[in-house]
Structure 1
Amino acid sequence: MPEEVLFKTEAIRTRSDVADYLRTVADKLDGGDSLTLTAGNDSVTLDPPERVEFEVKAERETSTGASEGELSIEFELEWDERQSGSAGDTGDLAIE
């Protein structure tokens, strides 16, 4: 399925700044509110349903032959625009 990027931003932030962004997202989700993402002149508003597919992924990207590389943690919320967000459950997630 083709992908259309509606919004993208990437910048170096402090851990504290990232935590503030994630808290805002958490508060919006918990309150049932829509999320508006804005950077410069770009903006998009999304309204996640009550149930979403939640993906957490940790990755290491290495160049050929390298034993060390770039580490990342990705958090993704996904839902079908036509459905009410009935996502499958693959087990309990713990983040400590």
Structure 2
Amino acid sequence: MPEEVLFSSEQQYSREEIATYLHDVADKLAAGEAITLSSGSESTTMDPPARPTFEVKAEREGPAGNMTELSVEFELEWDEADSGSESSDSELRIE
């Protein structure tokens, strides 16, 4: 199935500003509340289930031998009809 982008925003922020956004998302998740993303006239609200899949990925991108960009990606995934009851054998640690 092709991917449909429901919301997209990309710009540079300070580490402190990024931390504030991540704290806001964490607070919504901890409270079991929906997350609304908005920028200008664009907006979408998503309500993750109790146990979505959490993917963390660190990448190096660029031409072979000349690495140009590093990234850390945090992603929540779930099927629209998913109850989120699946679990994993290993525990993620972020230090």
The alignment's TM-score, normalised by the length of structure 1, stands at 0.93
- Report matched runs for 1:7-22 at 5 Å: 7-22=7-22
Q: 1:95 corresponds to which residue?
A: 94
Q: Distance in 2 between matches of 1:90 and 1:77?
A: 18
Q: Shift of residue 64 of structure 1?
A: 3.9
Q: 1:77 corresponds to which residue?
A: 76
Provide the alpha-carbon RMSD of the alignment: 1.1
Residue type of the alignment partner of 1:73 = V
The alignment's TM-score, normalised by the length of structure 2, stands at 0.94
Q: 1:54 corresponds to which residue?
A: 54
Residue type of the alignment partner of 1:30 = A
Residue type of the alignment partner of 2:4 = E
Q: What percentage of aligned pairs have identical amino acids?
A: 56
Q: Shift of residue 90 of structure 1?
A: 4.5
Residue type of the alignment partner of 1:12 = Q
Give the count of matched residue pairs.
Answer: 95
Residue type of the alignment partner of 1:81 = E
Specify whether residues 8 and 90 from structure 1 end up closer, same or farther in structure 2 by C-alpha distance, changes over 3 A only. farther
Extract structure 1 runs of 4+ deviating beyond 4 A: none
Structure 2 unaligned regions, length at least 5: none
